[in-house]
Amino acid sequence: MDEKIPFWRDDRVLKIIGQVIAVVVFVTVMLILGSNIARNFQSLGITFGFGFLRRAASFGIGDTPIPYTPSDSYGRAVLVGLVNSLRVMILGIILATVVGIAVGVARLSDNWLLKQIAGIYVELFRNTPLLLQLFCWYFAVFLNLPGDLENPPRLPGPIFLTQRGVDMPWPDGTLQTWLSVAFLLISAVLAFIIWRRRTTAMVQRGESGRSLQMILIGIGVLALLALIFGLQWDRPNLSEGAITDGLNLSPEFGAVLFGLIFYTAAFIAEVVRAGIQSVTKGQWEAARALGLRPTLAMRLVIFPQALRVMIPPLTSEYLNLAKNSSLAIAVGYADVYATSFTTSNQTGRTIEMILILMATYLTINLIISLGMNTFNRSVQMKER
Amino acid sequence: MSKWGSLLLAMMLAVAPIAACSSSSDTAGTEEGEGASGHLSTVLGRGSLVCGVNGQLPGFSFVNETGEYSGLDVDVCKAIAAAMFDDPEAVEYRNLSAQERFTAVQSGEIDVLIRNTTWTISRDTSVGMEFAPTTFYDGQGMMVPVASGVEDLEGLAGKSICVQSGTTTELNLTDQMRKIGAEFTPIVFDDEDAVYAAYAQGRCQGVTSDRSQLTARRETLAAPDEHVVLDVVMSKEPLGPAVANGDTQWSDAVKWITYALIQAEEFGITSENIAEFENSEDPSIRTFLGLEGSLGSDMGLPNDFTARAIRAVGNYGEIYERNIGEPFGLERGPNELWTNGGLLYAPPFR
Amino acid sequence: MTTTNPEPSVIAAPPITQISPGAWVKKNLFSDWFNTILTIVCLGAIAWLGYGLLTWIFTQAQWQVVPANLRLFFVGRYPAPLMWRPWTALGIIAVSAGLTWGILARSTWLFNRTGLIFLGVLAVLFVALSVPVSLNTSLLLLAILGLSVAAAFAGQQIGQRFPTLVSWLALGWLGIFFIVFGLIRGGLFLREVRLDDLSGLLLTLLTAIVSIVLSFPIGILLALGRQSNLPVVRWMSIGFIEIIRGLPLITILFMSSLLVPLILPPNVRIDRVVRAIAGLTLFSAAYLAENVRGGLQSIPRGQSEAAKALGLSAPLVTVLIILPQALKAVIPTIVGQFISLFKDTSLLAIIGFAELLGISQSILSNPNFLGRYQEVYAFDTVIYFCCCYAMALASRRLEKQLRTENR
């Protein structure tokens, strides 16, 4: 390096200078904005702090999955909202996946009519705003259910559909219920293990799997009995213009849940379809040539390969569902966004509540991403 | 990616200030107002008033099919604009939800909030508002369908009640129901239209809000006769204009323009007969109308600010009749002058 | 809030073989017992839904709310004396669209069957509009349609003469965007229309288009920043992208409408429409950055190495070699991004804007039209669907074209 490069043409120096400038500018902008906030606050006589979260909220919340009274603190109110959000997100993700897979498979069905219906559904729900769909679900569907409780529509169960929401049987929270739930969980895990072993036995050793199938059926019967009798269902009763007992799901909850499910399912259906289509036809043919039945070929050959393609876009759909649940505020469902918004309004603590909201949503997103990434790693090809 | 990095950096740095500058077209700061400073001079320099209103509430502020604003709150906005610029149309209206209204004031997005806002201690102190005199004394009421047979709050035990979030109403309802020990399910909406839409569809067995609002809203329901505003008053709701805390000159201006409307009614000055009063010999009237003294210019406003406001929208009585009394047949009650047994009382213009 | 990925189209259609309708029905609907059951269930569902929908449309729905407020839906509270401006803008767009169509289709038939059907449907629709709205509107729309078709023929002629024109189309549209924006907004010698007066579909389109145009350069910069080997730039880009993508759009809009004024110095006031557009732009830029990154990663390393070997400097390699290929690869995704942004503008209704959904809500609060939710929302659905579906179709065509070009 005899020939000296002037520093303004030296890459390494330039890079460092550029980055230092970037940091300086970033910090300066942040400082200016911060001081603006501080000055604005000072002139309005507002102080910054999270102490207000301990004060009594004194506003009511419609859906309270965990005990809450207006004398509880703002913090508790936000927590109720968070539980409400998680309720919608978890149920939404599970159900949207089920509906989405069903529709995605239907779009590839041999049946022309079914294929067309699935196609129309997907196009219609993907190409209209979710907010509009929420309004439709709430005002045009749920609030149009019969309002008088004399003779509401009754589905078997009994499940009642009224303007007050959906009333359905729900397990009583006794010891027996919890024992049954534990039993159901154990039998589900057991059944899964046996099912995996049966599949391996059938594929690798060419066994019939009849004996293991009998065990599976036995577990199923036991689980069904536990489900029906063990859980101690608390059925809703219709008496004198009021529905008592059972579980009441408010129309607000219903509107948000249905809106999210059917909107997201349309996207998931496309992910599923693209995933299955991404598996080449040769795989199908090879699987059939090996003598696998179509269902087995789908389960053992096609679906695992499709899953690898599907998981990344599926993750982003789940993230979208979680974020979209914040639209609940439009139909009066008290999710974390709505309760934080009310709190910020009652207390004037906009910045604090925005920080809490940001932290909440980023955490939820992180959890979903981490979960899906772990899942993704487990299904990716294990090569070499 | 060597020099490119620095080029990229330069571009990124360039984008930020450009984006900021290009959008800050509304920067105001010309010093036009005589002796005015702070927010008052900002508004005078801008030449128009940014007024935060409800926009969905018949009687107070409502947008009709042709897109024009009308109502009691809107008339107060017009009075302030007229007092400052002699032009009642120099107002930019911002429709605000109950939720966003205080932040809009805090942030200076609007100059004055005239959005049927209740004056409370916490809003006056910790939320950082400064309230001008009350322009409408209201109380919280409850509307139920006649067919439900509900006659008092106890009758609503176990029922659903629709309420708008972010309002004092929401808090009062909770307190009142706790007091009488009645459980209820609040159905809370962000949007006022949604509250009444849900009520009209029968989602809730009662809807609660300020009585004036319920009366006005009842008229807009499909069959007004099938709904009744219960004869209960759950709270005191003094509604009035609010500005941001900390700028006395600006809050004084809004305060005294509002008082001028009340004082004008006390003097009997209306938008029609104001010309006659300008020839009056009465020194208190001459001072009030800015023909003598320097009440207006001392506070940074035009000296005849009262006369301008009255010419544009009339006195308080006219405003009330035009927006509330005539369309909804609501008695003035506490919104009568103190001389007639009401609560409206303007301190002397001296 | 979501990214629509336009579906990949079928690569090659199988050879068409003539089969009798009976055989077709048997093969596609009743091939085995399971299929038969499915068909019957589907038919039942269609009959039930269709019957319900048709009875509602023709007997129960009270449609007068739509024609009575048509102007509000489309242009909102745009000042009535200035209505010629949106009309002129529509005319300019229609003529440009016609020209573009002609130039693109310079060497083929101008109107194939789908194109003709589309035009016919539009014409019938416009004629039908004369009943509920007015004859003038209907004639005006037909005239614009006619102009557009004439422009298409002219475009074809021009295109045949100057084939290089195709590469300038994008730039031309950018110019048209500015002209139309200036026309609607006013300024220079036209009376300025307050941004606050823009509402209805006009505001929806304005916010969506401006946001996507602005988010494009920012998104590309962010994507390049994320790929950069300068740690500060990379981490700042990653931080920005991930934070924005982790938040619901409504939180970002909430911040832009309420927090930004708190952060700015007291004398600086930014119009709230501009703030909302800024919020949408940042949101969409973060998503766009990820899409573009996908494109950047899909370009084989050999490309940049070959370019460097030719002696191109690093910025030139990126601008001339990598970016064009990367962008071309992700055009369909970007269209999908635009569709979702278009839908997401409906969230502006929550923060108090009177865009299409917001103005629908205020129409619904009008005492004369109380409770007409189903009709109004059905109308909104049709508008949103037509816009989004048209874009989705266009993106699919584009994708097909790009794929064949790459072969």
CA separation for the pair B231, B35 (Å, rounded): 51
pLDDT of A150 = 66
Cβ pair B222:C371 closer than 8 A: yes
pLDDT of B274 = 92
Chains that touch A (3 or more CB pairs under 8 A): B, C
Structure tokens at B48: 């128009």
pLDDT of B1 = 40
Amino acid at A17: I
pLDDT tens, position by position, C248-282: 999 999 888 777 877 777 667 777 788 899 999 99
pLDDT band at residue C101 under the 50/70/90 scheme: confident
Please count the residue pairs, one from chain A and one from chain B, whose beta carbons lie less than 8 angstroms apart.
134
Which residue in the set C225, C230, C258 is minimally distant from B100, CB to CB? Answer: C258
Task: Tell me how close the Cα of A12 comes to any Cα of chain B, in angstroms.
Answer: 8
pLDDT of C75 = 85
Tell me the whole-structure pTM to 2 decimals: 0.83
Enumerate the residues of chain B whose CB falls inside 8 A of the CB of residue C270: 23-24, 26
Whether the pLDDT of residue C320 is over 60: the answer is yes
Task: Tell me how close the Cα of C40 comes to any Cα of chain B, in angstroms.
Answer: 36
Which residue in the set A14, A252, A342 is minimally distant from B3, CB to CB? Answer: A14
Could you say which residues of chain B have pLDDT below 70?
1-37, 64-67
Please count the residue pairs, one from chain A and one from chain C, whose beta carbons lie less than 8 angstroms apart.
160
CA of A365: which chain C residue's CA is closest? C246
Mean pLDDT score across all residues of chain C: 82
CA separation for the pair B283, B292 (Å, rounded): 8
Task: Tell me how close the Cα of B56 comes to any Cα of chain A, in angstroms.
Answer: 16
Whether the pLDDT of residue A368 is over 80: the answer is yes
pLDDT band at residue A149 under the 50/70/90 scheme: low
Cβ pair A139:C5 closer than 8 A: no
Cβ pair B7:C258 closer than 8 A: no
CB C199 within 8 A of CB C354: yes
pLDDT band at residue C322 under the 50/70/90 scheme: confident
Task: Name the residue among C223, C253, C242 with its Cα closest to residue C327.
Answer: C223
Q: Where are the domains of chain A?
A: 7-44, 74-120+251-379
Q: What is the ipTM of this complex?
A: 0.83
pLDDT of C13 = 57
Q: Where are the domains of chain C?
A: 21-197+207-329
pLDDT tens, position by position, C59-81: 888 888 888 888 888 888 787 77
| Residues listed for chain B | 350
Which residue in the set C1, C42, C263 is minimally distant from A324, CB to CB? Answer: C1
User: Angle CA(B236)–CA(B237)–CA(B238) in degrees, nearest 5?
Assistant: 115
pLDDT tens, position by position, A1-27: 456 677 667 777 878 888 888 889 989
Task: Tell me how close the Cα of B331 comes to any Cα of chain C, in angstroms.
Answer: 23
Task: Tell me how close the Cα of A333 comes to any Cα of chain C, in angstroms.
Answer: 14
Least confident residue range of C78-87, C310-319, C395-404: C395-404
Q: Does A209 touch chain B (CB under 8 A)?
A: no
Among the four given CATH numbers 3.90.580.10, 3.40.190.10, 3.40.50.12780, 3.30.2350.10, the one describing domain B38-135+240-340 = 3.40.190.10
Interface of B with C in 143-202 (CB under 8 A): 190-191, 193-194, 196-197, 200-201
Enumerate the residues of chain A whose CB falls inside 8 A of the CB of residue B10: 18
DSSP-assigned letters across all residues of B162-176 = EEETTSHHHHHHHHH
pLDDT of B20 = 40
pLDDT of A293 = 79
Whether the pLDDT of residue A342 is over 90: the answer is no
pLDDT of C233 = 87
pLDDT of B4 = 46
pLDDT of A121 = 94
User: Angle CA(B142)–CA(B143)–CA(B146) in degrees, nearest 5?
Assistant: 135
Least confident residue range of A202-211, B218-227, C84-93, C240-249: A202-211
Task: Tell me how close the Cα of A343 comes to any Cα of chain C, in angstroms.
Answer: 14
In chain C, % of residues over pLDDT 90: 17
Cβ pair A354:C254 closer than 8 A: yes
Q: Where are the domains of chain B?
A: 38-135+240-340, 138-237
Which residue in the set C259, C384, C385 is minimally distant from A354, CB to CB? Answer: C259
Give the start-end residues of each E strand in A94-200.
154-155, 159-162, 165-168, 170-171
Cβ pair C350:B190 closer than 8 A: yes
pLDDT band at residue C285 under the 50/70/90 scheme: very high
CA of C233: which chain A residue's CA is closest? A19
Q: Does C165 touch chain B (CB under 8 A)?
A: no
Which residue in the set A113, A117, A358 is minimally distant from C251, CB to CB? Answer: A358
Which residue in the set A17, A60, A341 is minimally distant from B174, CB to CB? Answer: A60
Chains that touch C (3 or more CB pairs under 8 A): A, B
Phi-psi domain of B331 (left: phi exceeds 0; alpha: psi -120 through 50; beta: other): beta
Sheet holding B91-95, edge to edge: B91-95, B49-53, B112-113, B242-244, B129-131
pLDDT of B273 = 92
Enumerate the residues of chain C whose CB falls inside 8 A of the CB of residue B193: 361-362, 364-365
SS3 C11: coil
pLDDT tens, position by position, A246-299: 778 888 999 999 999 999 999 999 999 999 888 888 888 898 888 887 777 887
Find which of C238, C244, C254 to mutate to test the A interface (most A CBs within 10 Å of its CB): C254
- Topology annotation, domain A74-120+251-379: MetI-like fold (1.10.3720)
pLDDT of B26 = 38
Under DSSP, the state recorded for C8 is: P
Q: Give the DSSP H or E segment for A304.
A: helix A303-324
Question: Exposed, middle or buried: residue C311 (CB in 10 Å: 0-12, 13-18, 19+)?
Answer: exposed
SS3 B142: strand
Task: Tell me how close the Cα of B301 comes to any Cα of chain C, in angstroms.
Answer: 20
Which residue in the set C264, C344, C377 is minimally distant from A135, CB to CB? Answer: C377
| Residues listed for chain A | 384
Bridge partner list, B138: B237
Task: Tell me how close the Cα of C250 comes to any Cα of chain B, in angstroms.
Answer: 13
As a CATH number, domain B138-237 is 3.40.190.10
pLDDT of C195 = 73
Enumerate the residues of chain C whose CB falls inside 8 A of the CB of residue B70: none
CB A88 within 8 A of CB A256: yes
pLDDT of B264 = 95
Enumerate the residues of chain B whose CB falls inside 8 A of the CB of residue A60: 163, 170, 173-174, 184-186, 188
Q: Does A312 touch chain C (CB under 8 A)?
A: no
Pairing verdict, β B242-244 and B206-210:
unpaired
**What does each C-alpha distance from C13 to A115, C5, C8, C9, C16 come to in angstroms?**
17, 22, 13, 10, 8
Residues 6+ apart with CB under 8 A from C196: B92, B93, B94, C271, C272, C273
Q: Does A295 touch chain C (CB under 8 A)?
A: no
pLDDT of B220 = 78
Enumerate the residues of chain A whose CB falls inside 8 A of the CB of residue C236: 22, 26
